[in-house]
Amino acid sequence: MAAVPARHRSLHHRPRRLVALLCLLLGAPLASADARCWRELQFVASNGWIGASSTIRYEAPVASSELAPAPQGEALQPDADRIGKIHATFEALSNTGELDTWYELQSSAVLQSRRLSQGQNSRLKTHRFLRTGVWRERLEPGSPDARDPAQWQARSAALIPYPQSAESGAVLSPVMLVARAAELVRSNGKVRDQLVFTDKQLYHVRLATAPPENLETDFRLIENAKQRRVRGSRTAQRVSVVPRLLGSAPEEEAFSLLELSGDLAIFVDKETALPLRVQGSWLRVGTVPAELARAELRSGCGG
């Protein structure tokens, strides 16, 4: 094959150099990835004088040996070891918390949750999900200096049956709604209904999309072991989170998501399907947006 003259080689490579320069100046397009590609999401909220952060880490698969037995009732069992786990951490003022949620990968039904709170009101709550209800246990420190949950004392243990009026279907925990909202937007859906169990009560939760709007964003995106900063205006779909308490018992605690309650909404990036914001009321200071600060995807999962 005849050699290509140097000036022709320069012309041949110029378009690629131009593309590389444009990508550097404008930013390369972001890949779309469904919630199964998420490894970790970090959100930061602030009202100017109080700040808080939440991190959600997704793991799959995990072993069924992490599931506790249920002293009463028929505990839900996964199909083999097809179990996913969500590890969420919360930090606000002097209070910290951790929430582990185990769920069945095929149906998305929650199997177990474990919530540890440290601070002014330290406690450890474990929920083991059954076919017709939830087995709930609560531990608390026996003394102020008892920091190890393994030494805490049982304060309550009870079987909480689902209301007879509850419809059938997979039951989720609130933290799982972030991924459900992203899936709704990715599929161009309008409405999705879910059963969601909080600490003691079962809700029917409707996720409903609204017209897209522009959000100013600034977050770090990690994919394929490379990190980049994403800044500027992005088109996001608002997904309203509308809970309705089931049963006749009065509501004990307001429905919450990532420590936010009230008028809840999740804003999902139309291009990437990443949750850019979770919005609600916090500590009675009005509406507070928890903005996406960091997103890490599983290697080779985007697109």
Percent share of the chain, pLDDT over 90:
67
**25 compared with 163, residue with greater pLDDT:** 163
- What mean pLDDT comes out for the span 77-89? 90
Give dist(CA 117, CA 227) in Å, integer: 32
Over residues 142-188, the pLDDT tens digits come to 877 777 888 898 899 999 999 988 888 999 999 999 999 999 999 99
Residue 281: count of CB within 10 angstroms of its CB = 16
Q: Is residue 26 part of a domain?
A: no
* Phi and psi torsions of 107, nearest 5°: -95, -15
Q: Is residue 8 part of a domain?
A: no
Tell me the one-letter amino acid at 2.
A
Full domain range(s) for residue 101: 31-297
> Which residues face 92 on adjacent strands?
52, 95
Q: Is residue 98 part of a domain?
A: yes
Q: Is residue 90 part of a domain?
A: yes
pLDDT tier, 282 (very low <50, low <70, confident <90, very high otherwise)? confident
Over residues 39-49, the pLDDT tens digits come to 999 999 987 66
The alpha carbon of 172 is separated from its chain's Cα centroid by a whole number of angstroms, namely 12
Give dist(CA 110, CA 108) in Å, integer: 6
Q: Is residue 14 part of a domain?
A: no
Q: Is residue 1 part of a domain?
A: no
Q: Is residue 248 part of a domain?
A: yes
Q: Is residue 21 part of a domain?
A: no
Split into its structural domains, the chain has a count of 1
